[in-house]
Amino acid sequence: MPYYDFQCNVCDRAFEVKCSWKDLEKVTCPHCESTSVKRRYTNISVLRQSPDCADGCGTYTPSCAPGGST
């Protein structure tokens, strides 16, 4: 099963939940048991940043990939 990153809206702590996507709406905070939690997408945005895009294009495109423009 995949891991999902969450952050609690009540105690503001981040936590990881291992569950299926069908159970995402039932996720509760393990610290305060609040059901007011939100998904965190930090890992996704990091993956979309390409270190080869240092020429200021700002966004990842296939041509920015190593060898993609040659």
Q: Which one of 1-9, 15-23, 47-55, 59-67 is the stretch in contact with Zn ion (CB under 5 A)?
A: 1-9
The C-alpha atoms of residue 54 and residue 45 are separated, in whole angstroms, by 16
Triad 49, 3, 20: Cα angle to 5°:
125
In the complex, minimum distance from the CB of residue 6 to Zn ion, in angstroms, rounded to a whole number: 9
Of 17-36, binders to Zn ion (CB under 5 A) are 29, 31-32, 34
Residues near Zn ion (CB under 5 A) are: 8, 10-11, 29, 31-32, 34
